[in-house]
């Protein structure tokens, strides 16, 4: 079978290290022949991202802190020069202060609420706004979300509220961009031990609960998310937009 993503140029944002979900997604996309552009948040992670990207032929690495509009503008210009046409955008970025990820949601600060929403929700729209004009042959945009958007989950707090905004953004963006044959979807992944997950209190007990209760009786692996992302980036999912697909071994269907 020919490669599903041959001649496709895809932007992947959110690789911090080899445990990042974005890295597993990148591997699935590269495995199907996609050409990738990676971004890094700051100099602290630049070297790690470059080392990983070096293992994927023809990939490019560009800076972009999503809280700075000028950096997103520069990213879009660089993508135009590098690729001309963009076919996909993978958004795998989130942040909330550690102190907002424990205790009661009701104690969330104004600053903490704004920061979590800026980085974890608005950034999808901020980047989509600048890169969709490059998707002149149609395209696919996807982001990463979590069950905490739909249910009140212990310690997820403001991040759950930000993910709910992110999931609503998926639907609004899908409705806006469908006329350009651009699809917008999300993957709601089960808990996975990554750098971002380290910020969530009692993460081990969440993993244990999933192992016990998920229909498939196991926790989610990044490669499972990577392969679903590959499906969303490919023409196989051409009829799917505005959707959130759960890749969580079925955990979300379980009652208490």
146 is catalytic: yes
Element (H, E) at 91: strand 88-91
Question: Does residue 209 bind ligand NAD (CB under 6 A)?
Answer: no
Residues 221-250 that bind ligand NAD (CB under 6 A): none
Question: Does residue 142 bind ligand NAD (CB under 6 A)?
Answer: no
Compute φ and ψ for 88, nearest 5 degrees.
-150, 155
State the minimum distance, in angstroms, from the CB of residue 230 to ligand NAD.
Answer: 16
Question: Does residue 199 bind ligand NAD (CB under 6 A)?
Answer: no
Asked if 12 contacts 75 with a C-beta cutoff of 8 angstroms, the reply is no
Question: Does residue 14 bind ligand NAD (CB under 6 A)?
Answer: yes
Q: Which is nearer to ligand NAD, 19 or 80 (CB)?
A: 19
Which of 142, 189, 210, 233 contacts ligand NAD by CB under 6 A? 189
Q: Which of 67, 120, 69, 60 is nearest to 92 (CA)?
A: 120
Separation in Å, CA 18 to CA 114, 124, 246: 29, 22, 22
State the minimum distance, in angstroms, from the CB of residue 6 to ligand NAD.
Answer: 26
Catalytic site residue from 122, 156, 172, 251: 156
Tokens of 37: 């552009």
Question: Does residue 119 bind ligand NAD (CB under 6 A)?
Answer: yes
Instruction: Compute how many other C-beta atoms are within 10 angstroms of the C-beta atom of residue 88.
Output: 26
Question: Does residue 28 bind ligand NAD (CB under 6 A)?
Answer: no
Which of 191, 230, 244, 249 contacts ligand NAD by CB under 6 A? 191
**Would you give the binding string for ligand NAD spanning residues 160-179, x where CB under 6 A is met?**
--------------------
Q: Which residues of 13-36 are buried (b: 16+ CB within 10 A; e: fewer)?
A: bbbbeebbbbbbbbbbbbebebbb
Residue with tokens 């979807």: 185
CA–CA distance, 190 with 200 (Å, rounded to integer): 14
Question: Does residue 216 bind ligand NAD (CB under 6 A)?
Answer: no
Question: Does residue 75 bind ligand NAD (CB under 6 A)?
Answer: no
122 is catalytic: no
CA–CA distance, 3 with 18 (Å, rounded to integer): 24
Q: Which is nearer to ligand NAD, 222 or 239 (CB)?
A: 222
Close Cβ partners of 36 (under 8 Å, ≥ 6 residues apart): 9, 10, 11, 12, 26, 29, 30, 53, 56, 58, 59, 60
Which of 30, 144, 229, 233 contacts ligand NAD by CB under 6 A? 144
Which of 94, 96, 161, 210 contacts ligand NAD by CB under 6 A? 94
Residues marked as catalytic: 146, 156
By CB under 6 A, name the binding residues for ligand NAD.
Answer: 14-16, 20-22, 41, 45, 65-67, 92-95, 119, 144-146, 189, 191-192, 194-197
């Amino acid at each position: 079978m020919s490669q599903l993503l041959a001649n496709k140029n895809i932007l992947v944002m959110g690789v911090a290290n080899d445990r990042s979900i974005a890295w597993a997604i990148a591997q699935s996309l590269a495995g199907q022949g996609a050409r990738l552009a990676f971004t890094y948040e700051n100099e602290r992670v630049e070297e790690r991202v470059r080392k990983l990207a070096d293992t994927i032929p023809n990939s490019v690495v560009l800076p972009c802190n999503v809280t700075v509009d000028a950096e997103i503008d520069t990213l879009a210009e660089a993508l135009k020069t590098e690729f001309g046409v963009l076919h996909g955008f993978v958004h795998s970025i989130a942040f909330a202060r550690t102190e907002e990820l424990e205790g009661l949601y009701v104690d969330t600060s104004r600053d903490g609420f704004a920061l979590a929403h800026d980085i974890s929700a608005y950034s999808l729209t901020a980047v989509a706004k600048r890169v969709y004009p490059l998707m002149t042959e149609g395209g696919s945009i996807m982001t990463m979300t979590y069950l905490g958007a739909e249910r009140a989950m212990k310690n997820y707090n403001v991040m759950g509220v930000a993910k709910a905004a992110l999931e609503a953004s998926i639907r609004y963006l899908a409705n806006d961009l469908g006329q350009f044959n651009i699809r917008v979807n999300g993957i709601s992944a089960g808990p996975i031990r990554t750098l971002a997950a380290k910020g969530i209190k009692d993460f081990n007990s969440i993993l244990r609960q999933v192992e016990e209760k998920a229909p498939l009786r196991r926790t989610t692996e990044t490669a499972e998310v990577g392969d679903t992302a590959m499906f969303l980036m490919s023409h196989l999912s051409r009829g799917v937009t505005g959707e959130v697909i759960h890749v969580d071994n079925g955990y979300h269907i379980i009652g208490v």
